[in-house]
Amino acid sequence: MLPVSELTLTDIKRSKVPLVAISRPERRVVIGRNDRRRIDCDLIFSGLLKRCLRAAHAPSPLCETPEMRAATTGLLALSATFAGCAALGPAPISPTPSILVDLDPASVDRTVIVESITADRNGLLYLPDRVSGNILRIDPKSPKPVVVARIEPRQVNGQTVAANGGSLAFNAQGDLLIAASAFNEVVSVRAADLDPAKPGVASTFATGTQGANGLAIDRSGTVYVSGGANGTVYRVPAAGGAAQPAAQIERFTRTLPDGRTQQAIVANGLAFDASGALLVADTARGALWKVALGADGTGAKPVLVAQNALLEGADGLAVDRRGDVWVAVNELNAIVKVTPAGQVQQVARNDVAGPLEFPSGLVFVGDAAYVSNFDTPRRHNLDAGANTARGGIGASVARIGR
C-alpha cells in the first residue's frame, strides 16, 4: 500500500475514483483527475480518508477487513463532501448547524437568555446570561458552562434593574467588555477577574451609550457600540470613559408579517471587514451597512452593502477568513452570509424546533461558527398558534462547521 503522501500523478491517472489527494507538504487536495483546482481541506488528513484512498488505490489482503470495505464504501460519500468543499472554496464549512450545548438542560423556557457570544484568544466561548447576570465560559471541546464573572443588577428609581448584557468582546489586554443596554453603558471585567474559582464583578467602562447593544473593538482599541433603535453608533476611547457619536443609521420601523410587531432596531450587530471599515446590521430594514472610519475614529456616511428579505432580523455579525460577512438573522431562525460583492446567501434556516432558535450572535473559532440562541418568540421562532417559543431546547449554543 502506498501512503497517501506518496501518491504520484500516475496513480492519480490510474485511479477510478473522482477524488485524489496530494497531501504533503501543501495540505491540499485535488478534486477529479482532470481538475487542477486545489483546495485547502484538513479533512484529507482524517484517518478514514487515508484508509479509503489506500484501499482504492492498492487493494491488498489488508484491505479486505470489514473496516476497510466500509471505508471504501464511504469513499463516494467523502467524494461528495469534497465536491462540496470545492464549491465552498478555500475554507470548507459544513452548513448544517448542530447543538454544542443546551444552556438550561432542564428547561425549554427562557430560564437563561443569551443574546451574544464571543471567544478569547484560546478559542473559549463567552456569553452573558441576562437572567442571572452571569458571564458563562464554555470550552467547545468539553462544553459545560462555567461562571467566570457576573454583572450585578442596580437600583434605579427604587427598582432592581438587570444589565441586559448584549454583545461582548475582548480588548488587547484580555479584558472582557460587555454592552449593557439597561444601563446605557459598556461594562468590563478585567482579564485576571475572569475566574471560575472567584468570579469577578463587572464595573463601568463607558457611559453615554444609549441602548448599548452591538460592540466591536478596532485594531487601535477604540470601542464601537451600537444604540439599537436610535441608530447611533458610538465610539469610546481604548481606556474607556464617555462615548461620542461616530456614525448614524437613519431611523426606520418595519411591521412584521403578524401585522402587529414593530421592529425599529437599525443599528444592531457590529463587525469590521478586512479593510477596517465598520459593518452595521440593520434589523429593521433587513440590511447591512458599511461605515468607513477616519483616523480619529469618526465614521463617514453609511453605505448600504445589501438589503434583502433574507436579512429581515439581521442581528449579530462575524466575518470569516474569506471576507464573507455571516449574519445571525434572528426572526427567520437563519444564518445568512453576505459576500464582499454584496451577494446574500442563506447558510442555514429552520423552524421553531431548532437547532437555530432566534439566533442573535455568532463568532468564528477557526472555521467553526458558534451561534448564540436568544430564543425570543417571534416570527419563524414561534410555536404554532401560541405566543411562545417552547419548540426546540431554548437558550443554547449551536455550532456550524467541521
Least separation in angstroms between CB 393 and Ca ion? 4
In terms of CB distance, is 22 or 117 closer to Ca ion?
A: 117
Angle in degrees, 0-180, between the axes of helices 47-57 and 66-88, rounded to the nearest 10: 110
Least separation in angstroms between CB 385 and Ca ion? 15
Least separation in angstroms between CB 265 and Ca ion? 21
Q: Residue from 392, 397, 398, 399 that binds Ca ion (CB under 5 A)?
A: 392
In terms of CB distance, is 283 or 396 closer to Ca ion?
A: 396
In terms of CB distance, is 246 or 389 closer to Ca ion?
A: 389
- Choose the stretch contacting Ca ion; rule: CB under 5 A; options: 119-127, 199-207, 363-371, 392-400: 392-400
Least separation in angstroms between CB 124 and Ca ion? 21
Least separation in angstroms between CB 371 and Ca ion? 14
The answer to whether 161 touches 182, Cβ cutoff 8 Å, is yes
Per-residue contact flags (x/-) with Ca ion for residues 360 to 389, judged by CB under 5 A: ---------------x-------------x
Q: Which three cell numbers stand for residue 95?
A: 452548513
Q: Residue from 39, 54, 68, 102 that binds Ca ion (CB under 5 A)?
A: 102
In terms of CB distance, is 254 or 378 closer to Ca ion?
A: 378
Sheet of 270-272: strand order equals: 270-272, 278-282, 287-291, 303-307
Q: Alpha carbon of 339 to those of 189, 280, 323, 360: distances in Å? A: 34, 15, 7, 20
Residue 355 as a binder of Ca ion (CB under 5 A): the answer is no
Would you give the DSSP letter of residue 130? T
| Terminal Cα distance for the chain, rounded | 29
In terms of CB distance, is 68 or 389 closer to Ca ion?
A: 389
In terms of CB distance, is 75 or 329 closer to Ca ion?
A: 329
Name the one residue in this structure whose C-alpha cell is 472582557.
Answer: 176
Q: Alpha carbon of 219 to those of 91, 172, 223, 378: distances in Å? A: 24, 9, 10, 36
The span from the CA of 270 to the CA of 289, in Å, is 10
Q: What phi and psi values does residue 332 have, to the nearest 5 degrees?
A: -100, 5
In terms of CB distance, is 235 or 380 closer to Ca ion?
A: 380
The span from the CA of 293 to the CA of 276, in Å, is 8
Least separation in angstroms between CB 149 and Ca ion? 22
In terms of CB distance, is 104 or 115 closer to Ca ion?
A: 104
Q: Where are the strands (E) in 140-184, listed by range? A: 142-150, 154-156, 159-161, 165-170, 176-180
- Spatial CB neighbours of 207, under 8 Å, sequence gap ≥ 6: 184, 185, 241, 242, 243
Give the largest Cα separation in the chain, rounded.
Answer: 80
In terms of CB distance, is 302 or 392 closer to Ca ion?
A: 392
Residue 356 as a binder of Ca ion (CB under 5 A): the answer is no
Least separation in angstroms between CB 107 and Ca ion? 5
Residue 393 as a binder of Ca ion (CB under 5 A): the answer is yes
The answer to whether 398 touches 355, Cβ cutoff 8 Å, is yes
- Choose the stretch contacting Ca ion; rule: CB under 5 A; options: 135-143, 177-185, 210-218, 349-357: 349-357
- Choose the stretch contacting Ca ion; rule: CB under 5 A; options: 159-167, 329-337, 338-346, 393-401: 393-401
Residue 104 as a binder of Ca ion (CB under 5 A): the answer is yes
* Secondary structure (3-state) at 328: strand
The span from the CA of 356 to the CA of 359, in Å, is 6
Residue 302 as a binder of Ca ion (CB under 5 A): the answer is no
Q: Residue from 297, 357, 364, 369 that binds Ca ion (CB under 5 A)?
A: 357
Least separation in angstroms between CB 127 and Ca ion? 14
Least separation in angstroms between CB 112 and Ca ion? 7
The span from the CA of 279 to the CA of 159, in Å, is 36
Least separation in angstroms between CB 218 and Ca ion? 35
Burial of 386 (0-12, 13-18, 19+ CB in 10 A): exposed
Instruction: Give the interface with Ca ion as residue ranges (CB under 5 A).
Output: 102, 104, 107, 357, 375, 389, 392-394
